[in-house]
Structure 1
Amino acid sequence: MEESFPMTGGDGPHSYTKNSSLQKAAAASAKSMLTSGILENLVVEHSSKMFAIADLGCSTGPNTFIAMDNIIEAVTQKCKIKGYCSLPEFQVYFNDHVSNDFNILFANLPSDRKYFAFGVPGSFHGGLFPKASLNIIYSAFALHWLSRAPQELGDVNSPACNKGRIYYSNAPHEVGQAYSLQYAKDMESFLAARAEELAPGGLMIILMPGRPNGTLPSQNSLGPFIKPLESCLTEIKTLNN
């Protein structure tokens, strides 16, 4: 069964809305690549009156609104380069887990938006849309989340048991392998679904964190924070028992 851990909703001090500046900055730094990718690779048809965009793993905003504006700006530029006198009507589908706070998302929709907005609750590890219905599929800082934790992690009889740790850095090789296998399954299901949903000539744009080949798990950007956080959580659990 898939696990669901959406970002913290609402607009309080601990909400995703107030704690996603890092993602916002990273997406902003990728804007030029996003624009050039659309201008160089997207196929726009003059006869098409509708243009559908999906943000998979949109969370609660406001980053998703900025991204959608950037995409529409680039598509508009592409249409003008092609010499089209009229623009298509834009539809934007905001997708995240069923338990995502869609209320705060839609409450904060920009009043000057240039698109029709829709909510699509559900896991992106399966199908979400009709075949060939999307012109651009976008996902930012969401695809690195697994659909579930590998079962072996909690099995004390498994060499991949990860007891006493919250991450796979500084863990046995088998733990990292279990995560890798789960991720391969998730990516396969994600890509299979998107292959059905993407229209001919469309684009899929993915932003996600990573680390260079040959580096250790502990050498990623979160590495220095994992051990102290792990110690704190372990101590809290001990105090509560």
Structure 2
Amino acid sequence: MAAPMNAGSGAFSYANNSSYQRTGFNSAKNLIKDVLIQSIDVKTLMSSTISNTFTITDLGCSTGPNTFLAVENIIDAIEQKYRSQGENPASLEFQVFFNDQVSNDFNTLFASLPVDRHYYAAGVPGSFRGRLYPNSSICLAYCASSIHWLSKIPEELVDKNSPAWNYGKIHYTDARDEVVAAYEAQFEADMDGFLNARGKEIVRGGVIVIISPGVPDGALANHVGITFRFVESILIGMVKEGLIKQDGVDSFNIPHVYPSVKQMSKIVEKNGCFSIKKMEMRNTRTELEASIDHDGAIMHLRAAMEGTFLKHFGRKTAEELFKRTIQQKSTLYDMMDKSRSEIGAQIFAVLTRK
């Protein structure tokens, strides 16, 4: 399992370096609100509960502050819909469950809870690939910038005798078809587990809102991951200098998959627990030529991935790697500027429990 985002509130913390995810949410927040108002029947959901408690979970919440913005947006949409159904939203109570891995920094998360919040908050540690809540106890699940993380690296990728042995690579970016297939198979298995668990936990008529990095239908499956190509080149340079072993690079694989709408739709339909209310590919940047936050990309790389590199390479190598990302950042900037169409690609999906 991948390491959690960087803890605390320091210079390299996720809390201070998650503007990319916040941009993704901000670009989708009005769409989230519109789709929820159209698709969720709050009155019917409340009529099936013992109390007037609307339960929400953020799956993969990390340390904030993005999760709090998302929760407030969702609650506002639910209250608007309830009001439009002739009911008084003041009669609703909201319970929000913030979920992430056991090793997530829940202390930082709860220390930064909004003081003026209008919901009850609780933390739920554990992997969202399996069950987290009792049967039919959740009205709405929200999952942003999380499902692209695999639960584990496929065994074939670290088997030297396998056709999917990922020699000289750290991702399926520019890798052989066997590597791509292994990644895709693991992603499909993970998503099936995710949907099966939510199928039991979410009440009928409840919804899942998913925001995830993705690729357009028809795009070459292995032509993604600008940042990973950059990091890979640094690691190979360290191998050539004798600072790390080639086997250390070969056995390291980034646990990320970027699905297409076609792939996601196929998984949801095959699973059968949910109907697709909306699923589309969007771009978080309003204009293709909009400026790219280069320095933010470097900081986000460390905030999101440092723990994963530490687990495999150790602190000394990880520190050297991130030092070199700063020294060679102009290379990444050039790569990003040449591949603008990849940056900001986002799958937006709303699924309704059958």
Query: Which TM class, normalised by the smaller chain length?
Result: over 0.9
The alignment status of 1:172 with 2:176, answered yes or no, reads yes
Q: What SS does structure 2 have at the residue aligned with 1:199?
A: strand
The alignment status of 1:6 with 2:26, answered yes or no, reads no
Q: 1:4 to 1:228 in 2, by over 3 A?
A: closer
**CA pair 240-157 structure 1, distance change in 2 beyond 3 A:** closer
What corresponds to 2:55 in structure 1? 52
What is the deviation of 1:227? 2.4
Q: TM-score, normalised by structure 2?
A: 0.65
Shift of 1:215: 1.3
Question: Is 2:58–2:67's contact at 8 Å kept on the other side of the alignment?
Answer: yes
2:146 is the counterpart of 1:148: no
Q: Distance in 2 between matches of 1:195 and 1:216?
A: 31
Counterparts of 1:57 and 1:132 in 2: how far apart (Å)? 20
User: Distance between the aligned counterparts of 1:27 and 1:142, measured in 2?
Assistant: 13
AA partner of residue 28 (structure 1): N
Q: 1:122-137 to 2 correspondence within 5 Å?
A: 122-137=126-141
Matched, 1:182 2:186: yes
| 2:62 counterpart of 1:64 | no
Match of 2:34 in 1: 36
Q: Distance in 1 between matches of 2:78 and 2:230?
A: 45
Cα distance in 1, alignment partners of residues 18 and 172 from structure 2: 24
Q: Shift of the alpha carbon at 1:218?
A: 5.2
- Letter of the 1:149 counterpart: I
Q: Which has the higher helix share?
A: 2
Amino acid at match of 1:30: A
**1:226 correspondence with 2:228:** yes
Question: What residue ranges of structure 1 are gaps of 5+ in the alignment?
Answer: none
Tell me if the contact between 2:144 and 2:212 (Cα under 8 Å) persists in the aligned partners: yes
What is the root-mean-square deviation of aligned Cα atoms in Å?
Answer: 1.4
1:4–1:99 contact (8 Å) kept in structure 2: no
Query: 1 CA distance for matches of 2:235 and 2:16?
Result: 23
- The equivalent of 1:27 in structure 2 is 25
CA contact (8 A) 1:154 1:163 kept: no
Please say if residues 135 and 199 of structure 1, whose CA atoms lie closer than 8 Å, have aligned partners that are also in contact: yes
Distance across 1 between alignment mates of 2:95 and 2:169:
43
Q: Which amino acid aligns with 2:11?
A: P
Question: Structure 1: which amino acid aligns with 2:155?
Answer: Q
> Which of 157, 164, 189 is equivalent to 2:161?
157
User: How far apart are 1:240 and its partner, in Å?
Assistant: 4.3
Q: CA deviation at 1:235?
A: 3.1
Q: Alpha-carbon deviation of 1:216? A: 2.0
| Separation of aligned partners in 2, 1:226 and 1:57 | 22
Partner of residue 87, structure 1: 91
Q: Matched residues in 2 for 1:19 and 1:219: separation?
A: 26
C-alpha separation between the residues in 2 aligned to 1:136 and 1:72? 10
SS in 1 for 2:107: helix
Aligned 8 A contact 2:59 2:141 in 1: yes
- Aligned length in residues: 237
CA distance in 2, matches of 1:38, 1:230: 41
**Cα 1:88–1:169, aligned 2, differ >3 Å: closer, same or farther?**
same
Counterpart of 2:74, as a letter, is I
Q: What SS does the corresponding residue of 2:173 show, helix, strand or coil?
A: coil
Going from structure 1 to structure 2, the CA distance change for 1:89 and 1:195 (only over 3 Å counts) comes to same
Name the amino acid aligned to 1:215: A
> Normalization by structure 1: what TM-score?
0.94
Percent identity between the two aligned chains: 47
Q: Where does residue 250 of structure 2 map in the other structure?
A: none
